[in-house]
Amino acid sequence: MSLADSMKKLNDFDINDLDINNAGIWPAPVKAIVALIVFGLILGGGYWFFIKDQYAELQKVEKEEQELRERYENKAYRVANLEVFKAQMTEMEETFGALVRQLPSETEVPGLLEDITNTALGSGLDLQEVKLQSEQKRDFYSELPINIRVVGSYHELASFVSSVAGLPRIVTLHDLKISPQDGEPERLNMQVLARTYRYRAGE
């Protein structure tokens, strides 16, 4: 049968004439169309009932594989750099120990107050007050506030601040207030809160 005859027969065919019991006498194009539909339904059903869950499981496994790979690479990097990390830890411990040694103990605080007093006098300042305030406890250290009031010229005040920063113990300066001295415009009043720190090991 030629293609033209098949098309003519298909055009003359009425879908209402389809009889599932007589599928063998259906025109070839109709058989082909029905076969394609059935094949598509089989593929769709097979994907939905069998492949879909397996595909989702495959994605889950691939994700777990990626996570395990990243975890392995991270651990491998740590192992490869273990000696470097140990050296860095040793260096940090030494640095921390050096900083702790710069913190005054309770017995050294009077000496620190004396150092601040001598620094102020050595800078040419008139010392009005050097007074230790109440200790303030933090996580692993305590702050020891020291209220300082001095009078002097701008250069004398700058020399004092610089010298305090150079003390062997850690001292930081806060809340700096400077005002002119009454009747002496070249002399200045300075009030500053100095803070030193004490390591609270074992407390």
Q: What ranges in 25-174 are assigned the alpha helix state H?
A: 28-46, 52-80, 82-101, 109-122, 154-165
pTM of the model: 0.49
* Alpha-carbon separation of residue 88 from 20, 85, 95 (angstroms): 83, 5, 10
Residue 119, SS3?
A: helix
How high is the pLDDT of residue 51? 64
How high is the pLDDT of residue 3? 47
- For CATH 3.30.70.60, list the domain ranges present in the chain: 104-199
Q: How many residues does the chain have?
A: 203
Spell out the per-residue pLDDT of the chain, length 203, in tens: 444 555 555 455 555 555 555 555 656 666 677 677 777 767 776 666 666 666 677 778 788 888 888 888 888 777 777 777 778 887 777 776 666 666 666 656 788 888 999 999 999 999 999 998 888 887 777 888 999 999 999 999 999 999 988 887 778 889 999 998 887 878 899 999 998 887 766 55
How high is the pLDDT of residue 63? 85
3-state DSSP percent of the chain in helix, strand and coil, to 5: 60, 25, 15
How high is the pLDDT of residue 188? 92
How high is the pLDDT of residue 48? 66
How high is the pLDDT of residue 159? 92
Pick the CATH number of 104-199 from 3.30.70.60, 3.30.1510.10, 3.40.50.10260, 3.50.50.60: 3.30.70.60
How high is the pLDDT of residue 14? 54
- Cβ contacts of 190 within 8 Å, gap of 6 or more: 148, 149, 150, 151, 152, 157, 176, 177, 178
How high is the pLDDT of residue 61? 79
